[in-house]
Amino acid sequence: MSDLEAWRAKAAAWCESMVPTFGKAARKGLSVEADLALGRRYQKAKFDAGYAGINWPKDVGGQGLGHIEKVSFEAEEMKHGFPNVYFGISLGMPVPVLMQFGSDRDFVKERVVKALQGEEIWCQLFSEPSGGTDLAGLRTRAETDGNGWKINGQKVWTSWAQYSDYGVIVVRTDPTVAKHKGLTYFWVDMKAPGVTVRPIKLAGGDSHVNEVFFDDVKISDDHRMSPVGGGFAVAIATLMIERYVATDSAGFGPHLDLFVELAKEVRLNGRPAIEDGRIRQQIARNYAMRAGLDSINLRARRMMEAGMTPGPEGSLNKLVAVRSRQKLSELAIDLQGAGGFAFDEHASPKDDWASSWINAPTGRIAGGSDETLLNTIAEKILGLPQDHRPDKGVPFNEIPA
Amino acid sequence: MSILYDEGQQAIATESRRVLEARMKKDDLLPLLETTGRYHEAFWTTAKEQGWTALALPEAHGGLALGLVEMGLVTHQAGRTLSGAPFLTSSFGVAKAIELYGSDAQKARWLPGLASGEAIGAVVFAAGPDALPAQPGITFTDDRLDGIGAGVTGGLAADVAIVFANGPGMPVLAIADLADTPRTAVASFDNSRCIADLEFRGTAAEALAVGSGARDASLHILALQAVITAHEQTGGAEALMEIARDYALTRKAFGQPIGAFQSIKHRIAELYGLVELARANCIHASSREGQADFITAAAAARLSATDAYDTAARDCIQIHGGIGVTWEIGLHLHMRRARSLALEQGSSLFWEDILVDRLAGEAA
């Protein structure tokens, strides 16, 4: 057994040992608040066991290991449905950016450790009502105010803002230059006067995203994490940080073997649905697609182990997997017929077809829509031209609203 | 486990690509479409000279003792450049059957010739849409074959065939010398495949496997070939994606390259996805020979590669507009090959059933 295999086996055993306290059964029926409290305890246990901040530097509280150990742990952790969702964004983007760009290192270390322990949560304030994909088109502004800044405007789709202690934010500090040149990057205290958080109820019934309003929110200049006007580069760095995350070829929906089980149970035209050609074709096609992703991901892991950078084909994961999940979920509901109407809004999208189906559109939009991903593949991998952009080079305050 | 190619394997890929790109010309391939029964001799000469025919065969019989991974790398390149003959895969299938299930005498008789490329093999399994029929139409009685093997790829030029036949109360995988077997060329949309109907009339044959073992053996051979063909299909799809990309970068309409229109660029990005999924499944399948999940991995590779090549052919031509449907530009060479490769080694309909039987735990 290689060192990595041994490390992974130990991580797997630790995850198993956490199931009675933090697994799906332990979470069943909990309110969001109670589940979050359980999640904080889980995150603390993870930190104490040495599985938090796996690939982060030791001097800020991480474990100093590689991407491969991080991805291996996540693959094991993913099997059990632990309450870790509240910390995914926090530890995925804002906190790593703070580590990279925060100037007061003592402050940084204190925040990183508290975030790793689940005590504090960070959110990412990027998208606005005027645009998400077009990040540089944002309108929230910061004006100088004494030695500091005063923020006014609105953010939206901010995950877990209602439970967040801090956030990272991109705002416009100069509307007279081209849109991506007038942005600056700050961190903000989410409990500061003038910050108002309003949860948004989503189609599936949950409310993990929020509107966040800023009314004369005053911050000192030491909150600034980029040069004035240099915020866009830091924002892009934020989005690039998480190249090495565990993926799921089921698109974070039910795995294909659950569909096969369903098709074996259900009878269609007097025989098991698994014998129906239409059902068989969908099983086969989806299997081939997901197996391709599994193989891409396995190869990426092998490349990381060999000290190489994985190929760009990893960018297919979300695009392919969530579309597969969406259509397969529709078919699974079809298969249940009259029994398919039943809906439990607390069911998990990972093992309930209706929950998977109703939440699938979010997966195709959040974190880069299908269309954005296709553009990225076309432009960055294949070298095709950018779309026509009428606002290119135009000062922000001259772009027609 | 999915593999990373080592240096030797990367060298095989690079060298086969260099040789084929230098020697394969669309203008040599187009005339073959208009005549029945000819293949691109320059391709086959290259394959023999480069040792590709010997690649995955045992050293004791003139082979190079490499495996599916290396065969796949070569056929991927052959797919990119539209290999002008089908024998690399058909002879490989026959040779593997002899290696795995044949006697020492059969190996000594056939393997050196198949390894050098002097002998050509053909695989006679299919009946209509069924790549491995429950009741084969060809009979095997007292070591003699009778019946018609219809639509056999490479059949017109083959010296030896393996045949899935109906024996006395059980299926048989048999091997037959084709020296005296009458055959009729099938006029096809992809004529260089040398497709023929073979007429067995008391043709002397020897059994390689009988009963359920014959079926398992035949499916195994088919799966080995399917993995090779999947690489060839992926190579063809990859080439088409690149052709589409290059055209979209140069062709202008409404004052900009057509690749700046999302209807075009997204179509090409989708092709990229299909090609990479197929490639990943191919690499995985080529590393699973001898493992319990080999048939499953082969089926996944085959399904995704067929989808990738057919789709790339459709979309690449569509992106070209009018010029795409001309004889001279030759995109139809890929469109034709995409379909002939989709049928050889069993269509998607066959592999979907093979795959689902395994996923549902119903495989025989």
The number of beta carbons lying within 10 Å of the beta carbon of residue B351 is 26
Q: In whole angstroms, give the CA distance from residue B155 to residue B132.
A: 17
Q: In whole angstroms, give the CA distance from residue A397 to residue A187.
A: 25
Q: In whole angstroms, give the CA distance from residue B139 to residue B135.
A: 10
Q: In whole angstroms, give the CA distance from residue B218 to residue B94.
A: 10
Residues spanned by CATH 2.40.110.10 within chain B?
Answer: 121-211
Confirm or reject CATH 2.40.110.10 for domain B121-211, answering yes or no.
Answer: yes
> Which residue among B257, B269, B362 sits closest to A382, beta carbon to beta carbon?
B269
Lookup result for tokens 């203008």: B27
CA distance B266 to chain A (A): 6
Cβ-proximal residues to B23 (8 Å cutoff; 6+ apart), any chain: B42, B43, B46
> Which residue among A320, A379, A385 sits closest to B277, beta carbon to beta carbon?
A320
B143 touches chain A (CB under 8 A): no
A303 touches chain B (CB under 8 A): yes
CB B17 within 8 A of CB B73: no
B129 touches chain A (CB under 8 A): no
Residues B302-322: pLDDT tens digits? 999 999 999 999 999 999 999
Instruction: Provide the pLDDT for residue A12.
Output: 96
Instruction: Provide the pLDDT for residue B99.
Output: 97
Q: Do A296 and B359 touch (CB under 8 A)?
A: no
CB A399 within 8 A of CB A177: no
Lookup result for tokens 């991407």: A67
Instruction: Provide the pLDDT for residue A243.
Output: 57
Q: In whole angstroms, give the CA distance from residue A144 to residue B129.
A: 75
Range B129-138 average pLDDT: 94
Q: Which of A77-81, A234-238, B68-72, B172-176 has the lowest mean pLDDT?
A: A234-238
Which contacts (CB < 8 Å, 24+ apart) does range A106-114 have? A108/A60, A109/A59, A109/A60, A109/A61, A111/A166, A112/A53, A112/A56, A112/A60, A112/A61, A112/A62, A113/A60, A113/A61
Q: In whole angstroms, give the CA distance from residue B325 to residue B204.
A: 47
Helices (H), chain B: 7-23, 26-29, 41-49, 68-80, 87-101, 104-116, 212-250, 262-286, 294-320, 331-343, 348-359
DSSP label at residue A385: P
Instruction: Provide the pLDDT for residue B79.
Output: 98
Strand residues in A252-398 grouped as ranges (E): 267-268, 271-272
CB A188 within 8 A of CB A219: yes
Q: Point out which residues pair with A224 in neighbouring strands.
A: A186
Residues B245-297: pLDDT tens digits? 999 999 999 999 999 999 999 999 999 999 999 999 999 999 999 999 999 99
Residues A73-98: pLDDT tens digits? 998 999 998 999 999 999 999 999 99
A300 touches chain B (CB under 8 A): no
CB A117 within 8 A of CB A43: yes
Instruction: Provide the pLDDT for residue A242.
Output: 56
Q: In whole angstroms, give the CA distance from residue A358 to residue A14.
A: 33
Range B149-155 average pLDDT: 97
CB B272 within 8 A of CB A381: yes
| B358 → chain A, closest CA residue | A284
Range B159-177 average pLDDT: 97
Q: Is the pLDDT assigned to residue B221 strictly greater than 50?
A: yes
| A311 → chain B, closest CA residue | B276
Q: In whole angstroms, give the CA distance from residue B80 to residue B36.
A: 23
CB B196 within 8 A of CB B155: yes
> Which residue among A280, A288, A384 sits closest to B353, beta carbon to beta carbon?
A280
Would you call B255 helix, strand, or coil by DSSP? coil
Q: Is the pLDDT assigned to residue B364 strictly greater than 60?
A: no
Q: In whole angstroms, give the CA distance from residue A386 to residue B260.
A: 6
B257 touches chain A (CB under 8 A): yes
Q: pLDDT of chain A along its 401 residues, tens only?
A: 688 899 999 999 999 999 999 999 999 889 999 999 999 999 999 999 999 999 999 988 999 998 889 989 998 999 998 999 999 999 999 999 999 888 889 999 999 999 999 999 999 999 999 888 889 999 999 999 999 999 999 999 999 999 999 999 999 999 999 999 999 999 999 999 999 999 999 998 889 999 999 999 999 999 999 999 999 999 887 776 655 666 789 999 999 999 999 999 999 999 999 999 999 999 999 999 999 999 998 898 888 888 888 888 988 999 999 999 999 999 999 999 999 999 988 888 988 999 999 999 999 998 889 999 999 999 999 999 999 899 999 999 999 87
Q: Point out which residues pair with B161 in neighbouring strands.
A: B122, B176
Instruction: Provide the pLDDT for residue A315.
Output: 87
The amino acid occupying position A336 is Q
> Which residue among B2, B268, B278 sits closest to A299, beta carbon to beta carbon?
B2
For chain A, the straight-line distance linking the first and the last C-alpha, in angstroms and rounded, comes to: 61
A204 closest CA partner among A264, A276, A147, A252 = A252
B140 pLDDT band, cuts 50/70/90, is very high
| A305 → chain B, closest CA residue | B4
Instruction: Give me the phi and psi of B82, to 5 degrees please.
Output: 60, 70
Testing the interface with B: which of A259, A279, A285, A295 to mutate, by most B Cβ within 10 A?
Answer: A295
C-alpha distance from residue B31 to each of B34, B36, B45, B81, B328 (Å)? 6, 10, 18, 16, 11
Q: Do A385 and B360 touch (CB under 8 A)?
A: no
Q: Do B352 and A274 touch (CB under 8 A)?
A: no
With a CB-CB cutoff of 8 Å, which residues 261-290 of chain A face chain B?
263-264, 274, 280-281, 283-285, 287-289
Q: In whole angstroms, give the CA distance from residue A299 to residue A315.
A: 13
Q: In whole angstroms, give the CA distance from residue B55 to residue B47.
A: 10
C-alpha distance from residue B322 to each of A391, B158, B317, B318, B328 (Å)? 34, 39, 8, 8, 12
Instruction: Provide the pLDDT for residue A301.
Output: 83
Residues B251-262: pLDDT tens digits? 999 999 999 999
Testing the interface with A: which of B234, B281, B288 to mutate, by most A Cβ within 10 A?
Answer: B281
Q: Do A316 and B277 touch (CB under 8 A)?
A: yes
Instruction: Provide the pLDDT for residue B1.
Output: 53
B160 closest CA partner among B118, B190, B126, B191 = B118
CB B12 within 8 A of CB B74: yes
Q: In whole angstroms, give the CA distance from residue A333 to residue A328.
A: 9
Would you call A391 helix, strand, or coil by DSSP? coil
| B279 → chain A, closest CA residue | A292
Give the pTM: 0.93
Length of chain A: 401
Residues spanned by CATH 1.10.540.10 within chain B?
Answer: 7-116
A322 touches chain B (CB under 8 A): no
- List chain B residues with CB under 8 Å of A386: 260
Q: In whole angstroms, give the CA distance from residue A78 to residue A395.
A: 46
Residues spanned by CATH 1.20.140.10 within chain B?
Answer: 216-363
- List chain A residues with CB under 8 Å of B259: 378, 384-385
Q: In whole angstroms, give the CA distance from residue B282 to residue B108.
A: 31
Range B45-54 average pLDDT: 97
Instruction: Provide the pLDDT for residue A2.
Output: 82
Q: Which fold is adopted by the domain B7-116?
A: Butyryl-Coa Dehydrogenase, subunit A; domain 1 (1.10.540)
- List chain B residues with CB under 8 Å of A288: 277, 281, 299-301, 303-304, 307, 355
Would you state the structure tokens that stand for residue A136, as one six-digit string?
Answer: 């540089």
Would you state the structure tokens that stand for residue A69, as one six-digit string?
Answer: 């150990």
- List chain B residues with CB under 8 Å of A284: 299, 303, 351-353, 355-356
C-alpha distance from residue B242 to each of B121, B247, B266 (Å)? 33, 8, 14
Confirm or reject CATH 1.20.1430.10 for domain B216-363, answering yes or no.
Answer: no
A217 closest CA partner among A157, A137, A153 = A153
Q: Which of A390-394, B26-30, B189-193, B316-320 has the lowest mean pLDDT?
A: A390-394
With a CB-CB cutoff of 8 Å, which residues 5-44 of chain B face chain A?
none
Q: Do B300 and A288 touch (CB under 8 A)?
A: yes
**Rg from Cα positions in chain B:** 20
